Amino acid sequence: MMATLASDNPLAPVRKAVGDEALLTDRESLALYSHDVLSKGAEPLAVFRPESVDQLAAGIGAATAAGIAIVPRGGGMSYTSGYLYKGGPFLLVDTASLDRVIEVNETDMTVTVEAGISWDALHRTLAPKGLRVLAWGTLSGIRASVGGGMSQNGVFWGARNGTAVDSAVSFDVVLADGTVLSTGSDFFRPYGPDLTSLFAADCGAFGVKARVTLKLVREANAFAYGSFSFADHAALLGAMSEIARAELASESFAFDPFLQAQRMKRDTLTKDAKQLGNMMMSQAKSGGVLKALKEGAKVALAGRSFLDDVPFSLHCIAEGRHQPGVDADMKRITEIVRDQGGEPVENSIPKILRANPFPPPNSMLGPEGERWVPVHGFLPHSKLVAAWERLQDLWAANAGEMERLGVETGALIAATGRTSCLIEPVFFWPGEHNPLHRHAVEPDHLAKLSPAPHSPEANALVDRLKGEVIAIFREMGAIHLQVARTYPLKASHSPEGWAILEALKQQVDPRGMMNPGSLEL
């Protein structure tokens, strides 16, 4: 049970503990931090931006002692209300200033960072050393933080090795009373029961990540890329599953026809040219200048029309130590594709994306300025086709309303290891831009977009369809990342398992002050 506020000036104890400079209370900041990509919550009393872990702990301890709830925020790129709260006075914790690389241990192959560092900044620090994290971030990594990834979980780069939390060795976590808890060894996980895992993917319900130690691997120096066309979803999903089971690709992702068309409309040719330059430098490192020139010429000649007649497209990246090995992997991928009725097409997308792994977050709006939000489910390979067809039935049943209100859908599909794939339907619809859009999207890109007026009807339809998608996934036994306040975690657990989570919450947060309501706790 949350405590009541200690005085009429609730921030006074926090100001005394951390000083004025660590607290933002201006209208613009409070409006920005009360929005995620999709929704609006209540405004916090203040945004707390600590400069050190000690200050983080002091501020949290002072706030909760005064009856102020704590709501942690990572890079802000989420859309499941993880840092949105409406239950009473709260302090929003923004760890963006905790962005230091504490140690790169090349002998023991670990890196320790403060939790506010972005995946992009960490990747750029490690790249000159020929190192990277095991699973090394999401596409939003230019803003998404390592601490946010440990709390919300995430997947894309290094998906063959698991999700973001599979890269973690240990955490330093600030609990609700300001105590700093270290979860385990700094080089091996687990040592006995996995305490690190208890705080992984907790969506901030158990504590605020302060420091994270992660597993390192050597960066690959040989790459092969493939893109493929499929006439239908069954063939695409069959190929993806077989490629994943055989562990042939480090990343394997696909677009349905609508999302594919949206992606090809997104960037200007000027930005394509910059991306092409980055891709050519990447190719030169792995295969020499001649290869770089050859690959760059192929991408330039292909332009943007190479997917015009492609219904479903699959994109694969194979990587390793030796070029003959990854070429053999891509050859086998191509054989699997052809066995399923697919055909190779120009492979510009995976080449450019791998050379530019963390693009600006302009895709949080559609190419014409539409609102955008995804919803997702992870399913075993055996259920992918049935789930896809259930979703198509949902779109068909609502086609009239969707057309009337301008709501459109596409989907990203991605392999997530040997056992599962992600299906991520994405909604686009007309609507106004919120403060987070205006803050995060590049100004020159935002200036070209035309926001539509607020559309309560379209918003309500998207909200209903999102709920029906989640219900379909639930019926099929899907699991989710970024659970926060959107996905039904309690219903997915046995009563005995849920009781353990409730007991843990009671142990680390007995007064219910740490992100109340997240994970339904």
Joined tokens for residue 412? 């990203």
Q: Give me the half-sphere count of Cα atoms (radius 13 Å) on the Cβ side of residue 183.
A: 29
Cβ atoms of residues 7 and 66 within 8 Å: yes
Q: What is the pLDDT of residue 261?
A: 75
Report for 212-221, 298-307, 441-450: range of highest mean pLDDT: 212-221
**Secondary structure, 3-state, 129-151:** HCEEECCCECCCCCCCEHHHHHH
Coil vs helix vs strand at 207: coil
Give the residue with greater pLDDT, 365 vs 270: 365
Distance of alpha carbon 411 from alpha carbon 431, whole angstroms:
20
Q: What is the pLDDT of residue 9?
A: 85
Query: Residue 70: phi, psi to the nearest 5?
Result: -110, 130
pLDDT value at 8 more than 70 = no
Strand 377-380 and strand 343-345: the pairing is: unpaired
The mean pLDDT value for 444-458 works out to 91
Distance of alpha carbon 424 from alpha carbon 410, whole angstroms:
8
The amino acid occupying position 93 is: V
Distance of alpha carbon 212 from alpha carbon 167, whole angstroms:
10
**CB atoms near residue 42 (< 10 Å):** 15
Nearest to residue 412, comparing CAs of 253, 243, 265, 252?
A: 253
pLDDT value at 347 more than 70 = yes
pLDDT value at 257 more than 50 = yes
pLDDT value at 180 more than 70 = yes
Nearest to residue 458, comparing CAs of 374, 509, 402, 384?
A: 402
Cβ atoms of residues 159 and 243 within 8 Å: no
Nearest to residue 234, comparing CAs of 152, 341, 379?
A: 341
Cβ atoms of residues 210 and 115 within 8 Å: yes
pLDDT value at 273 more than 80 = no
Per the omega criterion (within 30 degrees of 0), is the bond before 516 cis? no
Q: Quick one: DSSP state of residue 518?
A: G
* pTM given for the model: 0.92
Cβ atoms of residues 85 and 69 within 8 Å: yes
Joined tokens for residue 347? 């492979």
Domains in the chain, ordered, with CATH? 12-95+507-520 (3.30.43.10), 101-218 (3.30.465.10), 220-359 (3.30.70.3450), 364-486 (3.30.300.330)
The amino acid occupying position 15 is: R
Q: What are 44-47's contacts with CB under 8 Å, separation 24+?
A: 44/71, 44/85, 44/90, 44/91, 44/92, 45/10, 45/11, 45/89, 45/90, 45/91, 46/11, 46/14, 46/91, 46/92, 47/23, 47/91, 47/92, 47/94
Distance of alpha carbon 77 from alpha carbon 14, whole angstroms:
27
pLDDT value at 270 more than 80 = no
Q: Which residue has the tokens 């949105």?
A: 84
Q: How far is CA 369 from CA 268, 429, 452, 465, in A?
A: 14, 9, 8, 21
Strand 69-73 and strand 90-94: the pairing is: parallel
pLDDT class of 395 with cuts at 50, 70, 90: very high
pLDDT value at 1 more than 60 = no
Query: Tens digit of pLDDT for each residue in 301-336?
Result: 455 555 667 889 999 999 999 999 999 999 999 999
Q: Give me the half-sphere count of Cα atoms (radius 13 Å) on the Cβ side of residue 234.
A: 2
Q: Quick one: DSSP state of residue 203?
A: T
pLDDT value at 402 more than 70 = yes
Residue 487 exposed, middle or buried by CB count within 10 Å (0-12, 13-18, 19+): buried
